[in-house]
Amino acid sequence: MFKMFIKSSILTGIHYIKQCTISKSAFIHTSIILRKAEDRKEMLASLPAKDEGTIGEKSVDIDTLFNRRAKSFPDANTATQLFNGIPFNELPICNIRVSPNNTIISVTDYKGVPRLIRSCGIEGFKNTRKGTNIAAQATAVSISAKAVELGWKTIRVKVRGLGPGRMSAIKGLQMGGLNIISVTDNTPVSWNPPRPRKQRSL
């Protein structure tokens, strides 16, 4: 009986070793670096796509603009159109500058003279937390409170760049009590730019 037990245990042990060698053989690499790169690729593939705040960029839904009565785009008469008693081209401007790592919001008068400026860094978010949508929203809420104090309740918004704060900063301005008339994209895009910096090594 005892003999049998030993025999069987040895057998199972051999079987286990066999299994190990078979299953492990798939992960044999000549260098550690190669395996590391693969692991990183797998990890990046499993991660959710990074939010850039560009909701609706990829959507291909049927254009609802044609059925709409209200006009969505400016024309030649827009500049003199009154909003809350102020012509469109004399409304204060809110510039939002978004980057992957930070969001800077400044409020200027209609000539472009800056009056208020806040960024996620000034707001108290440091390091990687600066580049989040929550930081952008908090910054927008605080700057809009200051703008309301100045008596600027109706504004136009100009957004520049792509990043997590793009949508949430605009939402935050509205939550802070500002009345947003229009949203403009001011992202600098060139088809023949000077040579950019070299690619990041991942």
Partner 1 sequence: MRHAQFLARTVFVHNNNVEEACRILNRILGKEEIFDQFRRTRFYEKPYQVRRRINFEKCKAIYNEDMNRKIQFVLRKNRVDPFPGCN
171 is a contact residue toward partner 1 (CB under 8 A): yes
Residue 143 CA to residue 107 CA, distance in Å, equals 8
Comparing CB distances to partner 1, the nearer of 4 and 113 is 113
Stretch in the footprint of partner 1 (CB under 8 A) among 27-35, 42-50, 122-130, 175-183:
175-183
The beta strand positions in 2-101, using DSSP E, are 82-83, 86-87, 93-99
Which DSSP symbol is given to 167?
Answer: H
Q: Are 141 and 123 spatial neighbours (Cβ–Cβ below 8 Å)?
A: no
Task: Evaluate whether 157 touches 184 at the Cβ level (below 8 Å).
Answer: yes
Binding-residue total with partner 1 (CB under 8 A): 42
Considering only residues 94, 96, 105, 170, which one is a binding residue for partner 1 as defined by CB under 8 A? 170
Give the whole-angstrom CA distance, residue 66 versus residue 25: 61
Q: Which is nearer to partner 1, 3 or 200 (CB)?
A: 200
Identified binder of partner 1 from the candidate list 73, 77, 85, 149, rule CB under 8 A: 73
Tokens standing for residue 34:
């190669």
Least gap, CB of 11 to partner 1 (angstroms): 54
Q: Is 167 in the site for partner 1 (CB under 8 A)?
A: yes
- DSSP string of 22-80? HHHGGG--S-HHHHHHHHHHHHHHHSPPPP-S-TTSS--PPP-STT-SS--S--TTGGG
- With CB under 8 A as the contact rule, which of the stretches 19-27, 121-129, 142-150, 184-192 interacts with partner 1? 184-192
For partner 1, give the closer residue by CB, 24 or 69.
Answer: 69
As given in the structure block, the two tokens for residue 38 are: 């693969």
Q: Which stretch binds partner 1 (CB under 8 A): 15-23, 24-32, 129-137, 181-189?
A: 181-189
Site for partner 1 in 82-111 (CB under 8 A): 88-89
Contact status: 57 vs partner 1 (CB under 8 A) = yes
Question: What CA–CA distance (Å, rounded) separates 141 from 134?
Answer: 11
Q: Which residues of the chain form contacts with partner 1 (CB under 8 A)?
A: 54-59, 65, 70-74, 78-79, 88-89, 156, 162, 167, 170-171, 174, 179-191, 193, 195-200
